[in-house]
Structure formats: C-alpha cells, structure tokens
C-alpha cells in the first residue's frame, strides 16, 4: 500500500507551521501599543495635546507692599517667558491595549501640555519600544513647560520702560534658506486673538517694513521691536530702530538698573502706562494725503500739514466752501486707515469764498 503524501507526522508539522504563521500575524495586532499622530483628523479619538510655544509676557511690574498686598511700579515692566499652546503643532495619543494590558499614564497640564507619560506594558516587544520612540520623537523631546516650573521663573526680568505695550509677544519661528528652524524674534500680540494676518519671517515670506496697516497693526503698519532709548525700554518700529543708535539699560543708575529680582521700591503715585504713540511723518503724510485728495477730485487753493507740539495740523483752503463736510470726512477716513489716535490731528478747513 502506497504511503499517502499526507502522512500523519507530516500533516501535524504542517498544522504547527500554519498555526505559528497565523500567530505571528495576529500577535502584533494584539500587542499593547501607544500611537502618536501629528495633526489628527476630526475622527481621531486620541487624547489631544499641543506642543508648547514660547511667548514673552510683558506686564506692569509689581512690588510687595506687605505680605498680602502689592502695587504697580510706574515706568517699570516685568518680562517673563511663558509657554502656551502652539496650535499649529497638534498631536493625539491613542493607547491600544490589544491582547495584553496597557497601563499608560498621560499627564496633561492645563488641558493641553503633555508633561508626563508613564506606561507599564505586559509585553516587552519591539513594537512598544518603537511606540515610545515614536512618541518621543513626535514630541520632539519633552521640555518642562509649566509656568510654575522653577526654571521658567528665573526667566524674567524687570526693566524701566516707556510706551511698551503690555501683553503677549509671540515667538516667530521659521525655517531659513537652509531649511533650519530658527527663532526670529517675538511679535506683539497684545491680548487680542489671532487676527488672521500672520507675518512669517521665515526667510521665504517677506514683509515690507512700510507695509501700511493692513494687518490691524500699528498705524504706520510697521513691524515693531523692543529697544532701549534714554535708558528705558521702548516699543519702536523696526525701520526707526534701524536708524536709531541703540543703548543698553546698563547705563542706568542703581535704582533703575535691570534686575531679575523683585524691586523693593515704595510706590508713589501709580502712573498709567501710555499706549504707543504713532510717530507721524508729516512730510509723508502731507504728500500722500494731498495726492489722495487730488485723486478724489477735491479742489483746494492751499494744503499743508505741520507738526506743532505733537499735534499734526492739517490745513486746507478749499475752493468751494460747500465741500467742507465731505472733505473733512475724506481726510478723517484716510487718517483712520493709517493712524489709531485721531486726537493727534487737527483738521482746519477754510474757504475764501462762499462762507
């Protein structure tokens, strides 16, 4: 009797092989796993977190009056580094227990900041190691970002300041022409939400220094920076800063010297910090406004603008007295598109005839 090609021992070994193959295929799916996804979709059910982004917080400086009270110091601001979510860097973490047990602890601070991951898995498979590796690489190396952390507390200093807007300054990070990420500086945000007009100073997207206030920025539309003038920190357009000699705060006297410690000064009258005042370039205003009025077809005998004690006086002698109202409106509209403080302007309309 000829032996069957599927004799019993052979058949048994084939079954074992098939089972082993199936097990090896199913095993990865059963293994506990931590999955990190960048820019998750709406359907993603993972736990969301954001990468931290450094901001400068500029606030009025305070000194302690007694143990329970503090007061503001006029002319001084405190600058500190804080971390807030970078909404362009969103991640989700999904934990899949599979066939085993996944004891994964995720600690989010303020609901967005991933500060800790602890996990105990019942299987020491390569997948777990890879998952942790991918998690860490996706997180880019976790850094202490809590505002309460000691390391960030030390990153603050108090300096004399004038016309420095209080609020948050967002870090502008971009890639240079070598595709290397760089911190380009900090951009004033104030307490306003994102206004839909970012300027990414990343070496590819350029911003004109003279770009008018299209972004709801300062009247002149310029980019601004913080610098020292006369021993005080001031908020200045970059184009002005480029031609202004820089001085440091080191030249200040002892009382005003830059300090990382709290200032022990007795509060006098607390002066209100004034908002930045637009530097009106009268020459440019005169030529541009005149051109604008001419473009509107407005006829006038005389037009000029002068700066007197911080007030810009715009004087127009009209050919037709009846057009005074529309001309005033046209001037005010033009000014409002470029300057915030319309109180700084005095419009004087006269006419030789028809009055």
Q: How far is the CB of 185 from other proteins (least distance, A)?
A: 12
- The pairing of strands 232-237 and 156-162 is parallel
Q: How far is the CB of 87 from other proteins (least distance, A)?
A: 24
Write the burial class of residue 164 (CB in 10 Å: 0-12 exposed, 13-18 middle, 19+ buried): buried
Q: How far is the CB of 311 from other proteins (least distance, A)?
A: 17
CB closer to other proteins, 94 vs 163: 163
- Distance separating alpha carbons of residues 327 and 333, to the nearest angstrom: 10
CB closer to other proteins, 46 vs 213: 213
CB 197 within 8 A of CB 214: yes
Q: Where are the beta strands (DSSP E) in 19-147?
A: 33-38, 47-64, 70-96, 102-109, 113-121
**Residue 306 DSSP label:** E
CB closer to other proteins, 25 vs 243: 243
CB closer to other proteins, 53 vs 292: 292
CB closer to other proteins, 27 vs 349: 349
Write the burial class of residue 224 (CB in 10 Å: 0-12 exposed, 13-18 middle, 19+ buried): buried
CB closer to other proteins, 36 vs 241: 241
Contacts of residue 109, Cβ cutoff 8 Å, sequence gap at least 6: 115, 145, 146
CB closer to other proteins, 98 vs 225: 225
Q: How far is the CB of 349 from other proteins (least distance, A)?
A: 15
Q: How far is the CB of 216 from other proteins (least distance, A)?
A: 16
CB closer to other proteins, 128 vs 351: 351
Q: How far is the CB of 318 from other proteins (least distance, A)?
A: 15
3-class DSSP state of 177: coil
Q: How far is the CB of 205 from other proteins (least distance, A)?
A: 8
Contacts of residue 135, Cβ cutoff 8 Å, sequence gap at least 6: 34, 36, 93, 117
Q: Where are the beta strands (DSSP E) in 123-275?
A: 156-162, 167-175, 181-190, 224-229, 232-237
CB 169 within 8 A of CB 189: yes
- Distance separating alpha carbons of residues 327 and 296, to the nearest angstrom: 9
- Distance separating alpha carbons of residues 234 and 210, to the nearest angstrom: 19
Residues that bind other proteins (CB under 8 A): 201, 203, 206-212, 221, 223, 237-240, 242-243, 281-284, 286-292, 294-295, 302-305
Q: How far is the CB of 287 from other proteins (least distance, A)?
A: 5
CB closer to other proteins, 151 vs 210: 210
- The pairing of strands 47-64 and 232-237 is unpaired
Q: How far is the CB of 315 from other proteins (least distance, A)?
A: 10
């Amino acid at each position: 009797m000829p032996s069957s090609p599927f004799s019993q021992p052979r058949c048994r070994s084939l079954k074992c092989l098939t089972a082993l193959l199936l097990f090896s295929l199913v095993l990865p799916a059963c293994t506990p796993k931590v999955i990190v996804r960048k820019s998750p979709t709406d359907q993603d059910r993972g736990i969301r977190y954001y990468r931290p982004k450094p901001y400068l917080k500029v606030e009025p400086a305070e000194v302690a009056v007694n143990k329970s009270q503090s007061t503001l110091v006029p002319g001084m601001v405190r600058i500190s580094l804080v971390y807030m979510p970078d909404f362009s860097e969103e991640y989700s973490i999904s934990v899949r227990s599979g066939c085993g047990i996944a004891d994964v602890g995720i600690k989010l601070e303020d609901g967005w900041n991933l500060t800790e991951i602890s996990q105990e898995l019942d299987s020491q498979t390569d997948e777990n190691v890879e998952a942790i590796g991918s998690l860490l690489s996706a997180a880019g190396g976790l850094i202490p970002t809590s505002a309460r952390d000691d390391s960030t507390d030390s990153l603050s200093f108090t300096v004399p300041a004038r016309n420095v807007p209080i609020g948050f300054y967002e870090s502008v990070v971009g890639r240079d022409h070598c595709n290397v990420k760089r911190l380009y500086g900090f951009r004033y945000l104030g307490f306003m939400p994102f206004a839909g007009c970012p300027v990414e100073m990343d070496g590819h997207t350029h911003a004109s220094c003279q770009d008018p206030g299209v972004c709801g920025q300062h009247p002149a539309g310029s980019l601004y920076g913080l610098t020292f003038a006369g021993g005080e920190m001031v908020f200045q357009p970059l184009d002005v800063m480029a031609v202004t000699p820089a001085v440091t705060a080191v030249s200040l006297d002892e009382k005003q010297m830059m300090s990382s410690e709290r200032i022990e000064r007795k509060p006098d009258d607390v002066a209100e910090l004034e908002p930045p005042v637009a530097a009106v370039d009268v020459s440019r205003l005169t030529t541009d406004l005149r051109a604008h009025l001419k473009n509107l077809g407005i006829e006038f005998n005389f037009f000029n603008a002068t700066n007197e004690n911080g007030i810009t006086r715009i004087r127009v002698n009209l050919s037709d007295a009846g057009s005074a109202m529309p001309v005033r409106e046209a001037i005010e509209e033009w000014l409002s598109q470029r300057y915030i403080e319309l109180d700084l302007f005095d419009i004087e309309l006269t006419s030789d005839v028809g009055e």
